[in-house]
Amino acid sequence: MQADPLHILKSVFGYDSFRGLQEEVIHHVVAGGDALVLMPTGGGKSLCYQVPALCRPGVAVVVSPLIALMQDQVETLRQLGVKAAALNSTLSFAETIEISRQMRAGELDLVYVAPERLLQPAFLDQLARCSLSLFAIDEAHCVSQWGHDFRPEYLQIAAVAERFPGVPRIALTATADGPTQREIVERLHLTEGREFVAGFDRPNIRYRVGLKATPKQQLLRFIQEEHRGDAGVIYCQSRAKVEDTATWLREQGVEALAYHAGLDKTVRAANQDKFLREDGLVMVATIAFGMGIDKPDVRFVAHLDLPKSLEAYYQETGRAGRDGLPSQAWMVYGVQDVARVRQMIEASEASDDKKAIERHKLNALLGFCETARCRRQVLLEYFGDSCAPCGNCDTCLEPVETFDGTQAAQMALSAIYRTGQRYGSQHVIDVLRGQTTERVRSLGHHRLPTFGVGSDWSEADWKSMLRQLVALGHVLVDIDGHGGLFLGPDVRPVLRGEAKVAFRKDPSAKAKRSRDSQR
């Protein structure tokens, strides 16, 4: 017989109610379904498999990549009276034997294992002699080859799907954009399962993105007018820029510290310590700063350079306002930054596939920067979450200047359609602008009716409009292939002229204008 999840939640964990999507996930898994769960850190992922593990008969096998994390979880569970153990390399032979015996005898509710162990044939044979309640795969993004935490052992986890087809599997992670989610589903054979995406919103953070004109002055004004005496973090791309910005801010009367990997270890530690202990300090840093730093009252996170991706942006800005009080994520960017990041991608040693993914990530980030929609919507949708226009981001508070881009959008959509929905933005733009490149000619695309219809727009205009179409969901990117563009599911009304498309006025032109007006 299966126990009731709510009863388990109350009697074992001492909580009154489920949070967010926990209840839905738990019911799905208790009923034997597979699931992919995306929740930000602190969202309550553990209960999503711990409660089902106690509801269903048998032992739950939890795959976790970090031994320290495993020990913590097991310790916490034991204190709650749950029969849990960790099988890992720190155990003696006798201890290992004992845990194995308990598993077979049905004396354990949960056993945590490192992914390597799951690959051992002997361990799998042993599992075959146990009654299993479920498999939980924590930090599931480790299966993604494109991610920063790739673990080859994770690729083998799919084998348990074949060996134990009747046992539900639940994969959990805090960081996975659309392509990574699809990769997890594919590699862990979760195609029959459900995806649960939840709680990425940080409603107390106000998102603002502006164009770079005189960045240091813009930053200083932002601090002086809105964050005098507040703690904040300022991210810069290079060490030199960190030093330079911190020194300059101090000269302007802002108490600023520097942090980057090139600083002497003791200086770095001292600065970090000071920032955490004292009130109202500003930390100017490279991305080396921030991992595992939990300062609740950081009131703003500023970016003087573009982050690497929207995931990085979300993570870095997420360090603001952990206490739930109003906070700001502020960023300025310019066309030069975009060129710099593009160059870095092209010059890197990465494979072509990986470069394609990085280009896509950059475009998604630029789509966010250039959007005329609610920024929070664009950000959350990138993670598969959603929200109503938030009223707490710059585009909501001060609607941006837009122009009616319906006709341009129709041109772009039909060019994508007529070229077969498989080419990247450069080729589509060549067709739109009537450029007879070798590729255009060899494919016969110069004979298409859309060839050259968009020649009034510059290449940069089209790039920006295509990114905005991606941010609007009208154009999708085949990221598993070679970055080919294809039409989104809801483009019909646009093509028929029943729905309008608003584009933000060309941001690079605007940046140029504001630079000129300062001369």
Smallest distance, Å, CB 207 to Zn ion? 7
Residues listed for the chain: 519
- Sign of dihedral through CA atoms 276, 281, 286, 290? positive
44: contact with ligand ADP by CB under 6 A: yes
Is residue 60 at the binding interface for ligand ADP, with CB under 6 A as the rule? Answer: no
> Is 174:41 a contact under the CB 8 Å cutoff?
yes
Beta strands in 97-229, from DSSP E residues, in sequence order: 110-113, 132-137, 169-173, 194-197, 205-211
Decide: is 45 part of the binding site for ligand ADP (CB under 6 A). yes
Q: Tokens for 163?
A: 């060996």
Exposure b/e, 189-206, CB count within 10 A at least 16 = b:
bbeebeebbbbbbbeebb
Instruction: Kindly state the smallest distance separating residue 458's Cβ from ligand ADP, in Å.
Output: 46
Show the tokens assigned to 134: 């479920």
Q: 208 with 317: CB under 8 angstroms?
A: no
Angle of helix 121-128 relative to helix 93-104, nearest 10 degrees?
Answer: 30
Closer residue to Zn ion, CB minimum distance, 396 or 502: 396
Residue from 10, 19, 163, 221 in contact with ligand ADP (CB under 6 A):
19
Neighbours of 56 (CB within 10 A): 22
Q: Between 39 and 416, whose beta carbon lies closer to ligand ADP?
A: 39
403 binds ligand ADP (CB under 6 A): no
Q: How far is the CB of 175 from ligand ADP (least distance, A)?
A: 11
Using the Cα atoms of residue 337, residue 350, residue 462 and residue 441 in order, give the sign of their dihedral: positive
Segment near ligand ADP (CB under 6 A); pick from 11-19, 55-63, 251-259, 365-373 = 11-19
46 binds, options Zn ion, ligand ADP, none, Cβ within 5 to 8 A by partner type: ligand ADP
For residue 82, the tally of other CB atoms under 10 A from its CB is 18
At 206 the three-state DSSP class reads: strand
Residue 18 interacts with, from ligand ADP, Zn ion, none (CB under 5-8 Å by kind) = ligand ADP
Among 5, 21, 22, 301, binds ligand ADP (CB under 6 A): 22
Stretch that binds ligand ADP, among 41-49, 93-101, 251-259, 334-342 (CB under 6 A): 41-49
Q: Residue 241 or 375: which CB sits closer to Zn ion? A: 375
**Short-list 274, 235, 276, 280, CA closest to 253:** 280
Beta carbon of residue 166, minimum distance to ligand ADP (angstroms, whole number)? 27
**Binding region for Zn ion (CB under 5 A):** 374, 376, 390, 393, 396
For position 42 contacting ligand ADP by CB under 6 A, the verdict is yes
Give the shortest CB-163-to-ligand ADP separation in angstroms.
27
Q: Which does 341 bind (CB under 5 to 8 A by kind): Zn ion, ligand ADP, none?
A: none
Which CB, 43 or 483, lies closer to ligand ADP?
43
- Number of shown-chain residues binding ligand ADP (CB under 6 A): 12
Q: Pick the binder of ligand ADP from 5, 8, 12, 18 (CB under 6 A).
A: 18
Which residue bears the tokens 């475009």? 363
Specify which residues 437 forms β-bridges with.
none
| Per CB under 6 A, 39 contacts ligand ADP | yes
Q: Are 466 and 458 in contact (CB under 8 A)?
A: no
CB of 18 to ligand ADP, least distance (A): 5
Quick one: which of 456, 446, 365 has its CA closest to 407? 456
- Residue 43 interacting with ligand ADP (CB under 6 A): yes
Q: How far apart are CA 497 and CA 450, in angstroms?
A: 17
Beta carbon nearer to ligand ADP, 106 or 203: 203
| Shortest distance (Å) from residue 42 CB to ligand ADP | 5
In angstroms, the CA 245 to CA 235 distance is 10
3-state SS class at 440: helix
Which of 44, 290 has the CB closer to ligand ADP?
44
Tokens of 418: 């007529």
15: partner contacted, choices Zn ion, ligand ADP, none (Cβ within 5-8 A by kind): ligand ADP
Question: Which of ligand ADP, Zn ion, none sits in contact with 70, Cβ below 5 to 8 A by type?
Answer: none
**Assigned token pair, 98:** 């004992």
Residues that bind ligand ADP (CB under 6 A): 15, 18-19, 22, 39, 41-47
